[in-house]
Chains A and B, each alone.
Chain A
């Protein structure tokens, strides 16, 4: 089945130690998104790639970076995680950016910062 895969499902990192979260897709979608979801809150968009074009949300901290080396893979890098970065990180894809195309979500990676 075509899907969005996130690895690892659970990640523990230390305060200030860089961490990378991975997302891959077999849907061949043009757009890949990264969301942050804190406990009991709605997902919040961090940034997205439209093909190779990177689009950052205005309020996304500089501590968060992303890479998309090819259509299938997208990475979220947190350069110096703080305690406030503990959250569920969700990757999503869509065929295009208009409302006609829904977003498909991966299972998420739960990040713990110690």
Chain B
């Protein structure tokens, strides 16, 4: 069965600093990987997705993620954090024709002045 693990339930960075949110996946077949962001009392918004077209995926709001098969990772990065980036971030995986998105436990990003 496919799964994702997010290391670090809370990450705090200073405004302007690099954001790095970690996600490792487990899948016996090539996965489809997603990063979603959730602001308080809101639904989930797709930041980016990996569907095997390119290993470096650029998303909205300046975020990007790199698929590394050798490390089974799909870490999310942003060069310079903004206060508006403070939110909960979920990594998720779908494999093959399965209809189910399996989410990681989430990482809460705090951005400080």
Interface residues of A (CB under 8 A from B): 4, 6, 31, 40-43, 45, 48, 50, 55, 57, 88, 90, 92, 97-100, 102-108, 110
Candidates B43, B97, B99, B103; contact of A107 at CB < 8 Å: B43
User: Does the CB pair A48–B49 fall under 8 Å?
Assistant: no
- Chain B residue contacts of A50, Cβ below 8 A: 99
A9 to chain B minimum Cβ distance, whole angstroms, is 8
User: Does the CB pair A42–B106 fall under 8 Å?
Assistant: yes
The size class of the interface chain B forms with chain A is 20 to 34
Interface residues of B (CB under 8 A from A): 31-32, 34, 36, 41-46, 49, 51, 90, 94-101, 103-106
Docked CA distance A50–B98 (Å): 12
B102 to chain A minimum Cβ distance, whole angstroms, is 9
Q: A43-B44, A90-B43, A90-B44 are in contact. Are A102 and B49 (CB under 8 A)?
A: yes
Candidates A42, A48, A100, A108; contact of B51 at CB < 8 Å: A100
Q: A102-B46, A108-B42 are in contact. Are A97 and B34 (CB under 8 A)?
A: no
B32 to chain A minimum Cβ distance, whole angstroms, is 3
Candidates A4, A97, A102, A104; contact of B97 at CB < 8 Å: A97
Number of A-B contacts (CB under 8 A): 59
- Chain A residue contacts of B43, Cβ below 8 A: 4, 6, 90, 92, 105-108
User: Does the CB pair A42–B95 fall under 8 Å?
Assistant: no
Docked CA distance A4–B44 (Å): 11
User: Does the CB pair A99–B44 fall under 8 Å?
Assistant: no
Can you list 19 A-B contacts with CB-CB less than 8 angstroms, sorted by A residue number?
A: A4-B43, A41-B105, A42-B106, A43-B101, A45-B101, A48-B99, A88-B41, A97-B99, A98-B97, A99-B94, A100-B51, A102-B34, A102-B49, A105-B36, A105-B44, A105-B45, A106-B43, A107-B43, A108-B42
Smallest CB gap from B41: residue in A: A110
Docked CA distance A105–B94 (Å): 16
A49 to chain B minimum Cβ distance, whole angstroms, is 10
- Chain A residue contacts of B51, Cβ below 8 A: 99-100
Candidates B42, B44, B94, B99; contact of A55 at CB < 8 Å: B99
